[in-house]
């Protein structure tokens, strides 16, 4: 799953479905990830590095 570090909840749902055959809701996935203490924040480039 490290290949999908910046995947959205919808992308993660589809990956989970491909691997398990079970499709869960976005809110269920969000709650599950929060319980596991997994962070879904996107990695962004700080303003100083963009310039």
* Contact yes or no for 24/30 (Cβ under 8 A): no
End-to-end Cα spacing for the chain: 31
> pTM above the 0.85 mark?
no
What is the reported pLDDT for 13?
93
Task: State yes or no: pLDDT of 48 exceeds 80.
Answer: no
Name the residue with tokens 């596991």: 36
pLDDT for residue 49: 57
Structure tokens at 46: 């700080």
Residue 49 has φ and ψ, to the nearest 5°, of -80, -25
């Amino acid at each position: 799953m490290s290949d999908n570090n910046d995947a959205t909840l919808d992308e993660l749902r589809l990956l989970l479905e491909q691997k398990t055959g079970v499709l869960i809701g976005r809110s269920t996935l969000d709650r599950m990830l929060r319980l596991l203490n997994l962070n879904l924040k996107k990695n962004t480039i700080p303003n100083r590095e963009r310039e």
